[in-house]
Structure formats: structure tokens, C-alpha cells
Chain A
Amino acid sequence: MKASGLKVGYLPLVDCAPLVIAQEMGFAAEEGIALDLRRAPSWSSVRDMLSFGQVDAAQMLSPVPIATALGLGGAGAPLSAVSVLSVNGDVIGVSRELERRLRDNGHDFAFNDARAAGLALIAAAGETLRIGVPFPFSMHAELVYYWLTALGRPAPQSVEIRTVPPPLMANAMEHGEIDAFCVGEPWGSQAVENGVGALLIPGRAIWAFAPEKVVAVRSDWAERESAMLGRLIRALRRAARWIADPDSHSLAAELLARPEYLDLSPDLLGRALDGRMVISPSGEERHVPGFIEFYRGGATFPWRSQAEWIGMQLAARLGLDREASARAARSAFRSDLHRAALRQYGADLPSASSKAEGAVRQPMEVGAEAGRLILEPDMFFDGRIFEPMPE
């Protein structure tokens, strides 16, 4: 049988791993598909490649399909998030100058306390704080806004948020265009490696289970090509399960490192997969369990409540109608399509499609359609719990 080709857009980041692994390790072939992976230079170009049909599916920042549903940020076609591709995986880093000031003020760079790190950053930054994020509609931006606002420095009002594509983040810091960044790996580690920055906290210190990237398709394509979509969702889930095994990490890093994908050293990529982060140019290491998740805790499931949280953050910031935004956001995360693709294949699917976000403090078994599903901790650093609309 000849595999059906599926064009998929992606950006060179550790969290594109399920796409690369599905293709390279044969999970796509098992489903009778071949992924034709197209690397893109920026998020707007991935989004446009998808909207205008140059690719069938794409790795996408989780807020992008939601922003599109809310009529924000240009592009045309309605998009559907059919799986979560990765959870967590961002880092917040600071310039060497800010690092020096933070250390002078006695900050310990413990790398696990978002409150302490945030207050120290606000104190050290002074009047202006310029923070680079990869895209206006990104989990990076949402984490930064949520974090600093909760600590009394309202963002974006009193913080300058600048858009810098991930591969250029270290460069922007080197040229003094930004004082700090929130970016997906390996680009934070790259800044450390180049000696231009130090890492302050991982993204998961702000929200312990943040949907970072999704697999997005055009909504009309999802309707028309439901069989193909099912194959894609299943292939990516198998790839995610494979990556979740620590024994796979070194091979995964090798594959991602290839010139046609990330074209970087496997060592740099392995740090995020292993959760062993080198946080400063002097070589200090911090161990972060769950630094990035592809599979554990039902990571691939696109919870409507995750979408709603993102939608409500956007609505509050941009002054949109809250209820309409919540509704539009929920409809962009297609837990129904995810279920349909996996139901007959013995996957551990939750019985509900929405949950309180931030309420799981330790691994917790929840009602599942079949099998056992254990959710991983998903707290916000300030202990808030987000209650979604009733389903």
C-alpha cells in the first residue's frame, strides 16, 4: 500500500518532536501516511501556509486557532486544534546584566519558584522591562502577562512585549533589544550556550500543565478528510508515547538535530527532553521533572477548558465580550475529533471534555471512557483555579 502524503508545517523547536518522530520512527507509516514536513521561518508563515492550503496540518501555538476564532490577527480560514502536541517546554531567561543585578540582590536562581523569581525580576528591572516573546498570540505571551500581572506589575501596560521569532531570540538579547524572554526550547538554552543570557524559571513554574503547541488543521479540511485526520492524530499520539519513554530521549534528540530539522547539537536538544537544564553560562544545572510533556497526564487531549482559559485571557486584555469569547475559544479545541480518532483504539480518554484548570495538586485518577487516566499537577503559581463554563 502506498502511503498517502500529508503536508505538515512546523517551526524548528523541540516541541515539533512528535511530527519528526512520527515520520522517522515509522508511526506515520503504520497509519498508512507519510508526513511531508515543511519547515517555516516564522509563526505567521506557518499559519498562512495552513490557512491558504499549502499544508494540510501544522504545529501551532495553542492560542492561534483561538485568536483566529475571535477574529484577531489577520488570516482567513477557521482553524481547529485537534490534538495538543506538547505541554510546557518554555523557559524565561534574562540578559547577563539582569542576571548580575538579580544575583547582587540575592536571588538564588533556584529555577522552581515563579513568585520569588518574578518579584526579584520586577525589583531588578527598574523602569523599563522589555520581554521578547515569539508571537503576539502564544502561550509565552499569556504566561508572561499572567505572571507579572499577578505579581503587581500589570502587563502589557507597564512591560514592553516585543515579538521575536524563536531562532532570533538569543540574537535580540545579544544586541540589547530585549532584557528578558519567554521562548520554547532549545532557543533559551541557545542563549545560555552563546553566553548572552541566563534562565530564570521554566514556563511550568507559572502554570504546571500549560498546553503549549497544538496540531491545527483547517476546520473545513477536518470535516472533509476525517479518515486522514484520524490517522494523523493516532500517529502523533503513538509518537508522543514513544518520546515520553526516557530511553528514547537520546535517539529523539539525534533525529531532531539533523540538518533538515533543527540543525543543532543533540546535546542542546536533549536538555529539554531530559529536563536537565543548564541555566547559566557558568554551567549551573537544574533538574526539572515534567519540563516538557508529550504524553503523560493525557497531554495530547485538547481540553475545552484550556481553550477557554486562553480565550478569557485574550478577551480581558483586548476588551472583548467575555462570554462570546469563551464560547468561540472552546469551539476551536476539538476534543470531539480527538476522541473520535482514538476511541476505538483503547486510548485513555477522559469522560469529560472540560475541567477546572489549576485544581490538580498531585497526580490524580479521573473518570475515563476506558483504561485509566491519571492527570498530572496543573497548578497556577498563585494558586488560582479557573472554573470553565458548564459543558
Chain B
Amino acid sequence: MPDTLSIIVVEADRDRALSIVDSLRSAGAYDIHVIAEPTGLARQIQARAPDVVLIDIENPSRDTLEELAVASGPMDRPVAMFVDRSDEGLSSAAIEAGVSAYVVDGMKPNRLKPVLDAAITRFHMFQRMRTELAETKRALEERKVIDRAKGMLMRARGIGEDEAYALLRKTAMDQGRRVADVAQALVTAAGLLS
């Protein structure tokens, strides 16, 4: 085995791929290659015979990598998902962060640790970004529904915007629900009645 670990990063998103490569480079000298195209993933990987493959757990193409766990020829080195049997819980941490690592048979865990540490940190960051994005989207959606409910109340009861919002808020408090949920119920009910 050559001294430099060869790593394949499977990632279709260019920015994410670059970001992973950057953090790996800062962790050590590796020979890194990115695969963005999921077609024939197993064959692409086999052709490059890497030591480590890093892939997002959410990536559905990941299942194709499981084929590599069974060597197809006598010269092939089987690649299997890295499972850490020491106390460090490196695999659990990786799965928690949303990255899985496939490594060739017989690789020493200490060679892999800096690679995984770097990947885990980066994937945690992706996860935070994903959560933030989802939150922002949800807040926007809710704002839209609340605006619609306010508009309906203003028309139906001939009241102003502030008053309409106060009414929604009071109802929500009385029922122990969120303003957005009350607004949604109103919009749904109005849709059924019209």
C-alpha cells in the first residue's frame, strides 16, 4: 500500500464537495478524488481502487457501494463500511453526523481517524445548514398562512390588521396552540366552506 491514502468523495453538490476536500487537505496529505455522477458508482470506484470512500448517508446511491463489500475477483480488495470496534465510537459519531466511510480490508483505524474527524466536522456543519434552511423555509410558510388568515378575518369581520392578528393570538392562547396552527385551521376550514 502506498503511503498516501487515496480517498474518494462521492458528492454531487460542487460546493459541498469542495468544502469536504478543503477540510481533508487541512487534515493531512491525501490523494483525493471527487465523484459527482452516481451512474455506475460501484464500477467508477472499483476502477480507482481507493483506500477510503466518503459518502453522505442520505445519498441513495450509497447502497451500490455495498456491492463492493464482496470482492468480485481474486485480485480485488473488498471495501466495507468502516466499523469501529474500539471505545472511541468513531463510526457512531460519523453516522450521527451523516457521513459513512467505506474502507479497504485491513486498514488500520489510526490511519483513518484524522480523515473521519475532518469529515465528521464538515458534515456536522452541513447538517446545521440544512436545519437552518428548513427552519427559515418553515417560518416563511407560516408567515404566508398567517397573512392569509389575517386577510380573511379583516374581510369577514371588517377589522384592521392589528386587530385581526390580536384575535388569532388570543384564540391560540386560549386553545394552547401556536398562532400558525390556528391560522392554518382557519385557512383550511375556509377552503372547505367555499
A binding-site residues for B, Cβ under 8 Å: 41-45, 48-49, 51-54, 72-76, 134-137, 162-165, 167-168, 175, 177, 318
Contact A167 B60 (CB under 8 A): yes
Which chain A residues lie closer than 8 Å to B15 at the CB level?
Answer: none
Q: Which residue of B lies closest to A165 (CB)?
A: B60
Q: Which residue of A lies closest to B89 (CB)?
A: A52
Question: Does B63 reach chain A (CB closer than 8 Å)?
Answer: yes
**In the assembled complex, how far is the CB of residue A79 from the closest CB belonging to chain B, in whole angstroms?**
13
| A41 with B60, Cβ < 8 A, contacts A72-B70, A73-B80 known | yes
Option from B62, B83, B91, B92 in Cβ contact (under 8 Å) with A44: B62
- A sample of 9 more A-B contacts (CB under 8 A), given A45-B57, A45-B62, is A44-B65, A44-B81, A48-B81, A54-B96, A73-B80, A75-B83, A76-B91, A136-B67, A163-B42
Option from B64, B80, B81 in Cβ contact (under 8 Å) with A163: B64
Interface residues on B, range: 20 to 34
Which chain B residues lie closer than 8 Å to A49 at the CB level?
Answer: 95
B binding-site residues for A, Cβ under 8 Å: 39-40, 42, 57-67, 69-70, 80-81, 83, 85, 91-92, 95-96, 100, 102
Q: State the total of A-B contacts with C-beta under 8 angstroms.
A: 76
Contact B63 A42 (CB under 8 A): yes
Contact B69 A52 (CB under 8 A): no
Q: Interface on chain A toward B: helix, strand, loop, or mixed SS?
A: loop
Q: Which residue of B lies closest to A314 (CB)?
A: B70
Contact B92 A52 (CB under 8 A): yes
Q: Which residue of A lies closest to B85 (CB)?
A: A76
**In the assembled complex, how far is the CB of residue A44 from the closest CB belonging to chain B, in whole angstroms?**
5
A41 to B61, CA, bound (A): 9
8 nearest CB pairs, A to B: A74-B81, A165-B60, A74-B80, A76-B83, A163-B64, A42-B63, A41-B60, A42-B60
A361 to B66, CA, bound (A): 37
A45 to B95, CA, bound (A): 9
Contact A48 B100 (CB under 8 A): yes
**In the assembled complex, how far is the CB of residue A2 from the closest CB belonging to chain B, in whole angstroms?**
18
Q: Which residue of B lies closest to A74 (CB)?
A: B81
**In the assembled complex, how far is the CB of residue A184 from the closest CB belonging to chain B, in whole angstroms?**
14
Contact A54 B69 (CB under 8 A): no
Contact B95 A136 (CB under 8 A): no
Option from A42, A75, A136 in Cβ contact (under 8 Å) with B70: A136
A167 to B61, CA, bound (A): 11
Q: Which residue of B lies closest to A76 (CB)?
A: B83
A165 to B60, CA, bound (A): 6
A43 to B67, CA, bound (A): 12
Option from A75, A135, A137 in Cβ contact (under 8 Å) with B81: A75
